[in-house]
Structure 1
Amino acid sequence: MRLFAQLAWYFRREWRRYLGAVALLIIIAILQLLPPKLVGIIIDGVTSKTLPANKLFGWLGLILGTAILVYLLRYVWRVLLFGASYQLAVELRQNFYRQLSRQHPAFYLRHRTGDLIARATNDVDRVVFAAGEGVLTLVDSLVMGLAVLIVMATQISWELTLLSLVPMPIMAVVIKRYGDQLHQRFKVAQAAFSSLNDQAQESLTSIRMIKAFGLENHQSSQFADVAQDTGVKNMRVARVDARFDPTIYVSIGMANMLAIGGGSWMVVNGHLTLGQLTSFVMYLGLMIWPMLALAWMFNIVERGSAAYSRIRSLLREAPCVVDGTQPLSADPGSLDVDIDNFYYPKTHSPALQDIQFRLAPGKMLGLCGPTGAGKSTLLSLIQRQFDVTEGSIRYQNKTLSDVLLDDWRSKMAIVSQTPFLFSDTVAQNIALGRPNATQAEIEQAAKMACVHDDILRLPQGYETEVGERGVMLSGGQKQRISIARALLLDAEILILDDALSAVDGRTEHQILQNLRQWGSNKTVIISAHRLSALFDAAEILVFHKGAIAQRGNHETLSTHAGWYRDMHRYQQLEAALDEVPAQQEPVKP
């Protein structure tokens, strides 16, 4: 029942719909009391031979008219009640998606994709079902049950009514116990469903790797284990669920036995007529639905309460990066980085330490170093995916934590080292940041990213669907489409996080030439393992274990001993070997 208190904010807002539905339910309950009364009158009239034919048909017509009116009113309250509950589904999912879009990487380190999808679909459905069917059964069972009890007690016999109600308190205690068990078990079952959902999502998104390694049977076995565990936990829910109806039917059966036994004695002793006993038994039959509805209401409300607690726990989670209040001007500014130490959540060793540099407008900054040296971490901090805890990053002499996130991110265009494409056309993927871009602008961005010719060779050119995550494209094509997407934004700061790793050296050279022409007045930050991408950078930072090991331009670093010079010579040697034509094997005589 606590779910109704938790959803009180929505019930208050939609009170007109819910009040209208409740009013109609009360009217329907009153109308349903009429047929048993009329049946009792008809039976007494027929047995005493005092009911004329025209009056009999009149009573029968009234029963039929009542049934038709109840049918029409039920249609109207369903529209009111379920229309309100479906609107709740829309609102919960909107809030859920808005919450996900506000979160940062630290949030997604704690929550898996399958679990989030389960909460947005299955859990929301359970809450909505409780807000619709739960309200219906609560009101219907209370109104109908009370109305029937009042009529039985006042119009027929209050003694027989009390006798018939003896099993009900016992039934209420048992059902309450079932409800508590169901709440706990359903919460566990929903968590198991999240794990199952996550296992399925991971298997589907990595199906190419699974098939490449021949892991189909292994993955199927893992999925079967998760599915088995989910089935066991849902069976525990079903065992509790299955106890509700038998408990109700046993209670109703005992009530009928007491009613017929006590009523027969009262008829024999002249305290009741046969018609009144018939009406009483029919009224008692009307009590079956309120009792079943009450049990069903406990069932679905407890499920909804468990689901809503999972949704609320996520909606209450505040973003780890809080939006600032200071706006940014349209003018370009300098980026000043002064990081003493930065730790990822729940880690004890710093990912970055003692990082200081200043990037003037229109300049290029290069980042390089061994894998895991801290380059991507620095770019994440610049993007404000995490906040600096010891030190600061400033732009236009304002600390990033004080700046409006939308203003700051509108200054940047980013190409990550793992490009993501939506299941849409090539043109729509390029125009993601500028949906109103013209075809000519899209093609110009593609040409600068050296992917225009590749796109024209696709079956429908720019209108080709790339599939989920760009599955039909190569890694190099996906990277270049992502670069075209960033260039189309024409942002002040362009960040390339190892965004040229999947293209060959010649294509990389052409893209960098195009970037120099495009970004003569743009600020560019390039992180790369291939050092040729950094030759034109005004300053290059060489990272090692989260710190700056070397800094300077290409000419300086390539002549001083260190990681940069060694890697540059190695890559030069590698490029020279690639250019040596392969020796042909001698032709056998």
Structure 2
Amino acid sequence: MRLFAQLGWYFRREWRRYLGAVLLLILIAFLQLLPPKIVGVVIDGVDKNHMPGSTVWMWIGLMLAIALVVYLLRYVWRVLLFGASYQLAVELREQFYRRLSRHTPAFYLRHRTGDLIARATNDVDRVVFAAGEGVLTLVDSLVMGIAVLLVMATQISWQLTLLSLLPMPVMAMVIRHQGDQLHNRFKSAQAAFSALNDQTQESLTSIRMIKSFGLEDHQSARFAGVAAEAGAKNMHVARVDARFDPIIYIAIGCATLLAIGGGGVMVVHGILTLGQLTSFVMYLGLMIWPMLALAWMFNIVERGSAAYSRIISLLAEEDDIADGEGALPDGGGTLEMAVVRFGYPQSTQPVLHDIHFRLRPGEMLGLCGPTGAGKSAVLALIQRQFDPDEGDVRFHDISLRQLKLNAWRARMAIVSQTPFLFSDTVAMNIALGKPGATQEEIERAARLACVHDDILLLPEGYQTEVGERGVMLSGGQKQRISIARALLLETEILILDDALSAVDGRTEYQILHNLREWGRNHTLIISAHRLSALTEANEILVMQRGAVTQRGTHRELSQAPGWYREMYRYQQLEAALDAPDESDDDDGREVTHE
């Protein structure tokens, strides 16, 4: 029953719908009390031979009219009640998605994708079902049950009513105990469903890798194990669930036995008529639904409560990054980083220390270094996915902690090292951040990213569906479409996180040339393993083990001893070995590759 208290905020807001549904349910309950009374009157009239046939047909017609009115009223209350519960589903999912979109990567280190999907779908469905069917069964069972009991006690015999109710307190205690068990077991079953959902999601997203390694049988065995665990948890729930109906039917059977036995004695002694006993038994039959509904209500409400506790636990999680209140000044600004120390959450070792740089509008900063040097961590701090443990990042000489996150991130466009494309057309993927972009703007961004010609070769050009995660495109095409998506936004700061790793050298050169022209009024930050991407940077930071070990321009670093010069020479040698052999052109002149 605690779910109704948890959803009190929604019931208070939608009180008109729920009140209208409750009033109609009460009216229906009282209308349903009339047919048993009419049947009793007809039986006594026929038994005593003082009711003409026309009167009998009149009563039958009245019962048919009552049935029609009840049918229409049931339609109306279903629209009111279930309409309100479906609106709750929409709001819960909107809140859930809004919270997910605001959380930082630290949140996703704690929660797996499959579990989040399960809470947004299956758990929300359980809550909505309880907010609709739960309210229905609660009101219907209470109103109908109380009304039937009052009629039985006041209109027929209160002594027989008390006799028939003797099994009910025992039934109520047993159901309450089973409800507590159901809550705990269903919560475990939902957790098992989350694990199953997560396993499914991982298997589907990595299906190409699984097939390439021939791991189908291995993954099938793993999935079967997770599915078996989920099935076992649901069987635990089913065992408790299966006890509800037998308990109800045993209680109703005992009550009917007591009613017929006690009522028969009262008829023999002239205390009750046969018609009254028939009406009483029919009324007792009407008690079957309230009792079953009450048990069912406990069932679905406990399930909904367990599901809601899983949802609310995520909605209640505090943001890892507190939103600021400050507004950003218009125009370009200087980006400054002065980080003394930074470590990822749940990690005892710092990944960055003593990182300092100053980047003015229109300048380009290059980041390089071996794998794990901390380049991505620097970019994460700039995007304010995390806050430094010691130190600060400032823009317009304002700490990022003081700025509104949405306002700050709107100044940036990011192309990550693992580009993501939605299952949509090429044009819609490029226009993701600017849905109102014209075709000319989309094509201009594609030309800057050197992907326009590739798109025209696709079956339907810009209207080609790229498939899930861009499955029909090559890695280089996906990277360049992601770059075009970022360029279309015309943001003040553009961040490329190793975003040219899958393109060939000539295409990389052309893209960088286009970026230099485009970036005269924009700030560029490029992290790359291929050092040729950084040759035009105003300053290059060479990072090793979370610290800056060298800094300067490409010319300065390529001449100074250290990691940069060694890696640049190695990459030059590698490029020379990979270059095609020299050949002669049509005029007999030698063609050389620089």
TM-score w.r.t. structure 1 length? 0.98
- State the alpha-carbon separation in 1 of the partners of residues 488 and 10 from structure 2: 43
The 5 Å alignment of 1:191-340 reads: 191-340=191-340
Question: Counterpart amino acid of 2:257?
Answer: M
Deviation at 1:410, TM superposition (A): 1.6
Residues 179-233 of structure 1 show CA distances to partners (whole Å, capped at 9, x for unaligned) of: 0000000000000000100100110011100000000111111000000000000
Aligned with 1:436: secondary structure?
Answer: coil
- State the alpha-carbon separation in 1 of the partners of residues 89 and 565 from structure 2: 60
- State the alpha-carbon separation in 1 of the partners of residues 84 and 446 from structure 2: 47
In structure 1, what is the equivalent of residue 53 of structure 2? 53
In structure 1, what is the equivalent of residue 36 of structure 2? 36
In structure 1, what is the equivalent of residue 463 of structure 2? 463
In structure 2, what is the equivalent of residue 94 of structure 1? 94
In structure 1, what is the equivalent of residue 16 of structure 2? 16
Aligned with 2:193: secondary structure?
Answer: helix
Deviation at 1:247, TM superposition (A): 0.4
In structure 1, what is the equivalent of residue 351 of structure 2? 351
In structure 2, what is the equivalent of residue 540 of structure 1? 540
- State the alpha-carbon separation in 2 of the partners of residues 576 and 528 from structure 1: 20
- State the alpha-carbon separation in 2 of the partners of residues 160 and 522 from structure 1: 88
Give ranges in structure 1 of 5+ residues lacking alignment.
584-589
The 5 Å alignment of 1:488-567 reads: 488-567=488-567
Aligned with 1:365: secondary structure?
Answer: strand
The 5 Å alignment of 1:23-172 reads: 23-172=23-172
Give the length in aligned residue pairs: 583
- State the alpha-carbon separation in 1 of the partners of residues 567 and 492 from structure 2: 31
Deviation at 1:61, TM superposition (A): 1.1
In structure 2, what is the equivalent of residue 395 of structure 1? 395
- State the alpha-carbon separation in 1 of the partners of residues 181 and 377 from structure 2: 46
Aligned with 1:417: secondary structure?
Answer: coil
Aligned with 2:267: secondary structure?
Answer: helix
- State the alpha-carbon separation in 2 of the partners of residues 542 and 222 from structure 1: 43
Aligned with 2:542: secondary structure?
Answer: strand
Question: Counterpart amino acid of 1:48?
Answer: K
- State the alpha-carbon separation in 1 of the partners of residues 33 and 281 from structure 2: 13
- State the alpha-carbon separation in 2 of the partners of residues 529 and 556 from structure 1: 18
- State the alpha-carbon separation in 1 of the partners of residues 496 and 421 from structure 2: 16
Deviation at 1:491, TM superposition (A): 1.0
Aligned with 1:281: secondary structure?
Answer: helix
Residues 485-524 of structure 1 show CA distances to partners (whole Å, capped at 9, x for unaligned) of: 1111111111100000000111101100111111122111
Question: Counterpart amino acid of 1:297?
Answer: M
Deviation at 1:479, TM superposition (A): 0.2
- State the alpha-carbon separation in 2 of the partners of residues 216 and 207 from structure 1: 9
Aligned with 2:346: secondary structure?
Answer: coil
4+ residue segments displaced more than 3 Å = none
Q: Is 1:421 matched with 2:452?
A: no
- State the alpha-carbon separation in 2 of the partners of residues 146 and 121 from structure 1: 36
- State the alpha-carbon separation in 1 of the partners of residues 71 and 470 from structure 2: 53
In structure 1, what is the equivalent of residue 569 of structure 2? 569
Deviation at 1:564, TM superposition (A): 0.5
Question: Counterpart amino acid of 1:452?
Answer: H
- State the alpha-carbon separation in 2 of the partners of residues 415 and 381 from structure 1: 15
Q: Is 1:367 matched with 2:360?
A: no
- State the alpha-carbon separation in 1 of the partners of residues 238 and 366 from structure 2: 60
- State the alpha-carbon separation in 1 of the partners of residues 557 and 220 from structure 2: 52
RMSD: 0.9
- State the alpha-carbon separation in 2 of the partners of residues 529 and 228 from structure 1: 45
- State the alpha-carbon separation in 2 of the partners of residues 405 and 109 from structure 1: 20
Deviation at 1:581, TM superposition (A): 2.3
Deviation at 1:329, TM superposition (A): 1.6
Question: Counterpart amino acid of 1:232?
Answer: A
- State the alpha-carbon separation in 1 of the partners of residues 274 and 261 from structure 2: 13
After the TM superposition, which of the residue ranges 303-312 and 553-562 deviates more from structure 2? 553-562
Deviation at 1:323, TM superposition (A): 1.3
Give ranges in structure 2 of 5+ residues lacking alignment.
584-594
Question: Counterpart amino acid of 1:24?
Answer: L
Aligned with 2:393: secondary structure?
Answer: strand
TM-score w.r.t. structure 2 length? 0.97
Deviation at 1:582, TM superposition (A): 9.5
- State the alpha-carbon separation in 1 of the partners of residues 521 and 232 from structure 2: 63
Deviation at 1:389, TM superposition (A): 2.2
Deviation at 1:435, TM superposition (A): 1.1
In structure 2, what is the equivalent of residue 587 of structure 1? none
- State the alpha-carbon separation in 2 of the partners of residues 521 and 268 from structure 1: 103
Deviation at 1:34, TM superposition (A): 0.6
The 5 Å alignment of 1:425-504 reads: 425-504=425-504
